[in-house]
Structure 1
Amino acid sequence: MRVIVGIDESDESFYALQWAVSNLFNGLIGGEPNLVTLVHVHQPSKRYAVPPSAFPAGVGVTAAFPSTAAVDSERRSEEQISAAILSRALEMCSNKVKAETLIMEGDPKDMLCEVSEQMNVDLLIVGSRGLGRIKRAFLGSVSDYCAHHAKCPILIVKPPKEMATAKD
Structure 2
Amino acid sequence: MADEMGAPKDRKILVAVDESEESMHALSWCLENVLFCSNSKDTLILLYAIPPRAVYPTFDNTGYVFSSDFLAMMLKYNNDAAGFVTEKAKRKCKEQVQDVKVETRIEHGDPRDVICAVAEKLHVDVVVMGSHGHGLIKRAFLGSVSNHCVQNVKCPVLIVKKPKPDCRSK
TM-score, normalised to structure 2's length? 0.80
Q: Give 1:33's aligned residue.
A: 41
Is it true that 1:118 corresponds to 2:121 in the alignment? yes
| Partner Cα distance (1:13, 1:117) in 2 | 21
Taking structure 1 as the reference length, the TM-score comes to 0.81
How many residue pairs get aligned? The number is 152
Q: Counterpart of 2:5?
A: none
CA offsets 1:131-153 (integer angstroms, 9 cap, x no match):
22222112211111111111111
Within a 5 Å distance, the mapping from 1:78-89 to structure 2 comes to: 78-89=78-89
Q: CA deviation at 1:44?
A: 2.0
Q: How does 1:61-100 map to 2 (within 5 A)?
A: 66-67=67-68, 69-94=69-94, 95-100=98-103
Query: In the TM superposition, what is the alpha-carbon distance from 1:29 to its structure 2 partner?
Result: 2.5
State the AA in 1 paired with 2:14.
I
Residues 96 and 11 (structure 1 numbering): CA distance in 2 closer, same or farther, change over 3 Å? farther
What CA distance in whole angstroms lies between the structure 2 residues aligned with 1:64 and 1:113?
A: 31
Segments of 4+ moved more than 6 angstroms: none
Kindly report the root-mean-square deviation, in angstroms, between the aligned alpha carbons of the 2 structures: 2.3
Q: Give the percent of matched residue pairs that are identical in Structure 1 and Structure 2.
A: 36
Query: Which AA in structure 1 matches 2:81?
Result: I
CA distance in 2 between counterparts of 1:23 and 1:107 reads 28
Consecutive unaligned residues of structure 1, counting only runs of 5 or more, are 56-62
Structure 2 CA distance for aligned equivalents of residues 40 and 64 of structure 1: 27
**Aligned amino acid, residue 38 of structure 1:** L
Structure 2 gaps, min length 5: 1-10
